[in-house]
Every structure is written in structure tokens, then in C-alpha cells.
Amino acid sequence: MKLNELKATPGASPKAWRKGRGVGSGNGKTAGRGHKGQNSRAGGGVRWGFEGGQTPLFRRLPKRGFNNKQFAYNYVEIQLGRLQQFEDGTVVDIDLIKDSGLVSFGHDNDGIKILSGGEFNRKLTVRAAKFTASAKEAIEQAGGLAEEV
């Protein structure tokens, strides 16, 4: 058998449909494009994804893939006024705060952040991951110590 003797299986390759070859051909005149309109013209049609000005599907669906948010630190925030319940001279750390039930602490939390807020006048040593500047100042003004751990 030679290459020039190879033939396709009967029915495997249908005969080409010749467009615009007279009305009697069944596909003449408008050549299957209908009358007028954008798609009847040469070069007509819209770009990929265009939906007539409506927000395209690929922009309506939620995005997937890489996002830096997964690497962000997640702190449990606590107001300084809530530490007022501890006695003077106490070392307030993450374990003491958890045990006292001031905050619920999950496995995805990276530490505690102390915010200013409420009345505070205790002489405490506060150990936390983060402090706001005003909270740190309030602790030191009351005679305590703010330590970042």
C-alpha cells in the first residue's frame, strides 16, 4: 500500500458545503448569515467574552488562585479598659487573658493586640504581640510596662 492509495472510511469526511453559490444550492444569497446585522458583515462579530455591554461572565465569577491575605497576621484585639480587672503588679500575658475568659482564641490567631479604650489606671506588666501607640502610652503613664513578645 502506498500513500497515494490511502482513502478515508466512507462518511468520515463529509463533502464541503459551498456557500453563496446561487439560490438553488440551498445556501446561496446570504450564505447562511441571515439579513443585515453585525454578524452578516465581513469581519463582523464581537470580541471573545463580550456580552453586549453586560458585565462578562469571567468578571462576574469569583476569582481563584494566589492571594497574599493567607500570609497576613491575625491578631485578637482587646481594649485596654478590660485589663482593669487584674490586680496591680500582675504580669498580664496571653495565657492569663485566655484563662480569665476575656477573649476566645482560635488556632488561626497569631497573638493579642492591645488597643486603647476605656478607663485604665492599673500598674500592670502587659505582654502582647502588638500595642497601639496610645495603649502603650496609657500603660506607661499608669506606671506599668508594655512588652512586645
Task: Spell out the domains of the chain, with CATH numbers in brackets.
Answer: 19-49 (no CATH), 69-148 (3.100.10.10)
How many CA atoms lie within 13 Å of 7's alpha carbon, on the beta-carbon side? 4
Q: Say if CB 149 and CB 130 are below 8 A apart.
A: no
Dump the DSSP string for 12-66: SSPPP---SS-GGGTS-TTTTS-SSSGGGSTT-S--TT-BTTBPPHHHHSPP-S-
**pTM score above 0.85:** no
Over its length of 149 residues, how does the chain's per-residue pLDDT go in tens digits?
899 999 999 999 998 889 999 999 889 999 999 999 999 999 999 999 999 999 999 999 998 888 888 889 999 999 999 999 999 999 999 999 989 988 888 788 889 999 998 899 999 999 999 999 999 999 999 999 999 98
